[in-house]
Amino acid sequence: MFETFFYQPVYNVFIFLYNITPGGNLAITIILFAILIKGLLYSLTRKQLQSQKEMQEIQPKINELKIKYKDSRDELGRATLALYKEHNINPFSSCLPVLIQLPFLYAIFKVLREGLGGNGLNLVYSFIEKPDVIYTNVLPGLDLAQLPFVIGISPIRFQIISVIGFLIVIMSAASQYWQMKMMFTQKKVGEISSSNEAEDMAVMMNKQMMYLLPIMMFFIGSTFPIGLSLYWLIITLLSILQQYFIFKKKTNP
């Protein structure tokens, strides 16, 4: 069902973009595909980012509640949750804009691993032109369908296959950290309050994800085709731009 109702439509959109890309450049195709996906998810991610920003903005009110109900954790918990509900805020929503894109990340991985030739092209719809060949080598020494590393255990070996590919992997992980740090820049994620368990858990999750997501993206980029890191790099940069304008708009109405 995933292949029929999700992967195949996504794959055909990708092939359509490849067909209209000048020179059939796979890198440009991946960039256009990332822009398209980001555009489709714009409204949903905007809502989540606004919720996160509003959570930061009501922090002074939360601090007032901590003082008012300092002797009652139960009252503080209820008052805090009521405040979240009043402002339509989900304290655990900060990671959702990343998580909802994971199916598309997996789809683009399947495109790069299975869909660029051979039997993969059999999934192309009849009304979309099927390319004779998809060129994955977009620059000398940069094949977006290949891994950036060769890693072996016996004998032990570690070799960078593509310097540009390695830089794309590094930038993908670094941009993910930048995005997460920017999201919490107005809130000290290192300060864990002992006054409210729900808030404490949300802050701890946010802090952990700020470091775990970049590490995860570096690991994924190191063990999967370079094109996957290029896709995530573009998605993350677009997310950073979206966050910047939403946060700026909320700060300067």
Q: Which of 58-67, 80-89, 194-203 has the lowest mean pLDDT?
A: 194-203
Low-confidence winner among 128-132, 135-139, 149-153 (lowest mean pLDDT)? 149-153
pLDDT at 14 over 80: yes
Q: Which amino acid is at 133?
A: V
pLDDT at 188: 47
Rounded to an integer, what distance in angstroms lies between the CA atom of residue 221 and that of residue 212?
14
Domain count, the chain: 1
Provide the H-helix boundaries in the chain. 2, 8-20, 26-40, 42-57, 59-68, 73-86, 96-99, 102-114, 163-183, 197-223, 226-251
State the residue range of the domain holding 30. Answer: 2-251
pLDDT at 27: 95
Which of 22-26, 32-36, 179-183 comes out lowest in average pLDDT? Answer: 179-183
The Cβ of residue 20 has, within 10 Å, a number of other Cβ atoms equal to 11
Closest CA to 89 of 57, 114, 123: 57
pLDDT reported for residue 144: 93
Kindly state the percentage of the chain with pLDDT values over 90: 30
Q: How does residue 11 score in pLDDT terms, banded at 50, 70 and 90?
A: very high
Task: Read off the pLDDT of each residue in 228-241 and give the average, rounded to a whole number.
Answer: 94
pTM: 0.79
If one compares 98 and 168, the residue with the highest pLDDT of the two is 168
What is the longest distance spanned by two Cα atoms in the chain? Answer: 72
Q: What is the pLDDT of residue 237?
A: 95
